[in-house]
């Protein structure tokens, strides 16, 4: 079995490049909820200046602690620093920059036309904060998926309790120390803990719950939210397909391999399996995918500084078992001692095998051959709606057909995962892959109430025509007004 070579972090996880002010330990769930409810009731976070200040503080947190955050991610997931910056820190910075640039437009009231029958009057829409928000983050991108939703929640004027994942303990501990040092402790709190802590948090009264993770826990969160009629955003996952028809197969293989094997395959929108349309596409992928993997990670990915590890032993055992469920085109080795799973490509896979029914969430990529494009579409639509679906083809007709016929949270043509990097594109699932969305304006809207306001003068009562009793004259007037 391959041995995974690791380079020790230059600083201990949780250590910042420049020490920050020591803070109190992360709060208990009930205490944090009560404290933030007081701030919510006093409208502490609503002024635009306060929101801008918090966004600036979050920007400083990332800028001044970049190395420490990268070290924590390396400790938890074996992430190379370059990947951590590209896929986590830089994306949050882009979200912050976008929110700072557009905050004035987002918070501005929008005036709408009033029907003649209600004149004179004015009508407008106000974006109001929902109130107190709970954000529950997963372990696979523990910085991005905790602080990314926070950007939208702060921009919308909410108070926020952050619950990082206990499966990324170094990152969780670091963020629990940094967040109170850079953001107003009256408005933002970090609560650490495992399942019991999450259960206790879900027992509190929230104005919105934002959860990223798996479908099983997503159901638990949705049930708890329903008990209190709390609105909820669920960012789940699913088996995102990549349908390959035609094109530059060397480039296609590189793009699929990059999307699949970054973060050792532990990415919610990674292509979970490939549907190769026709023998030519399948044969070309079997030829070029191993070359792309070798170009990225070398002949022995276990010694690559650019390839991560599986988060824990349980996930390792599950993913390693998938490596046996098809003909191995490339890869196939693993090492439980270092939680290393080699980037693996499988062919001749049974569509009923667990590698094709379970979300893999790891570096195993099955290829399934289908005869025609329509067969690929039917295959995708016969299964739960994925978080993303990717089509590789240079034919615009197929792009249109794919968009029209495939139900997925997001669509990518000739590229994987990259729609997340566009702040103005909403990100979210549909059906089993989630509900609601965020990023950019969509995130601001998720954490806002779009409140209507209608204003009329009472000095002259222009509504008498609609008051009872309704004689023939009033009925005639009302018909003409309708």
Catalytic residues: 235, 268
Element (H, E) at 450: strand 448-456
Residue with tokens 């997503």: 218
Whose CA is closest to 446, among 461, 460, 436, 459? 436
- Are residues 104 and 51 in contact, defined by beta-carbon separation less than 8 angstroms? no
3-class DSSP state of 305: coil
Nearest residue to 153 via CA among 229, 206, 228, 84: 206
CA distance 25 to 141: 23
- What are the structure tokens assigned to 414, written together? 């000739």
User: Is residue 176 a contact partner of residue 28, using CB atoms and an 8 Å limit?
Assistant: no
CA Rg, the chain, in Å?
Answer: 25
The DSSP string of 101-119 is HHHHHHHS-EEE---GGG-
Helices (H), 66-89: 66-77, 81-84
The DSSP 8-state label assigned to residue 87 in this structure reads I
Cis peptide before 469 (omega within 30 of 0): yes
The token duo for 245 is 């028809």
């Amino acid at each position: 079995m391959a041995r995974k070579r690791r380079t020790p972090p230059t600083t201990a996880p949780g250590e910042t490049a420049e020490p920050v002010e020591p803070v109190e330990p992360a709060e208990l769930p009930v205490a944090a909820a009560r404290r933030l409810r007081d701030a919510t009731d006093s409208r502490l976070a609503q002024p635009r200046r306060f929101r801008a200040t918090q966004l600036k503080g979050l920007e400083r947190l990332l800028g001044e602690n970049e190395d420490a955050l990268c070290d924590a991610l390396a400790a938890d997931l074996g992430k190379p620093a370059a990947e951590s910056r590209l896929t986590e820190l830089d994306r949050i910075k882009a979200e912050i920059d976008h929110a700072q640039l557009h905050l004035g437009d987002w918070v501005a009231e929008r005036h709408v036309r009033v029907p003649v029958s209600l004149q004179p009057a004015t009508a407008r829409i106000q974006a109001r904060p929902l109130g107190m928000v709970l954000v529950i983050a997963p372990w696979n991108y523990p910085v991005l998926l905790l602080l990314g939703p926070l950007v939208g929640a702060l921009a919308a004027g909410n108070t926020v309790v952050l619950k990082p994942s206990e499966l990324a303990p170094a990152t969780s501990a670091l963020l629990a120390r940094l967040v109170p040092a850079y953001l107003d402790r009256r408005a933002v709190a970090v609560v650490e803990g495992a399942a019991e802590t999450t259960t206790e948090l879900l027992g509190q009264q929230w104005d919105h719950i934002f959860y990223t993770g798996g479908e099983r826990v997503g159901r638990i969160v949705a049930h708890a939210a329903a008990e209190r009629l709390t609105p909820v955003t669920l960012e789940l996952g699913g088996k995102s397909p990549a349908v390959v028809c035609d094109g530059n197969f060397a480039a296609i293989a590189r793009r699929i391999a990059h999307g699949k094997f970054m973060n050792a395959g532990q990415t919610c929108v990674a292509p979970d399996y490939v549907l190769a349309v026709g023998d030519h596409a399948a044969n070309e992928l079997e030829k070029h995918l191993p070359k792309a993997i070798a170009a990225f990670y070398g002949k022995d990915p276990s010694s690559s500084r650019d390839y991560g590890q599986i988060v824990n032993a349980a996930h390792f055992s599950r993913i390693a078992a998938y490596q046996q469920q098809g003909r191995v085109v490339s890869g196939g080795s693993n090492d439980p001692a270092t939680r290393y799973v080699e980037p693996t490509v499988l062919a001749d896979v049974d569509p009923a095998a667990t590698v094709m029914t379970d979300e893999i969430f790891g570096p195993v990529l099955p290829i399934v051959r289908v005869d025609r494009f329509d067969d690929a579409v039917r295959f995708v639509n016969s299964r739960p709606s994925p978080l993303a679906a990717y089509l590789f083809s240079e034919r615009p007709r197929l792009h249109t057909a794919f968009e029209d016929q495939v139900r997925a949270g997001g669509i990518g043509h000739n590229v994987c995962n990259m729609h997340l990097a566009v702040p103005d594109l909403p990100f979210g699932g549909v059906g089993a892959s989630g509900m609601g969305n965020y990023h950019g304006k969509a995130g601001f809207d998720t954490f806002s109430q779009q409140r209507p306001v209608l204003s009329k003068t009472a000095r002259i009562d222009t509504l008498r025509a609609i008051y009872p009793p309704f004689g023939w004259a009033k009925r005639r007037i009302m018909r003409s007004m309708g």
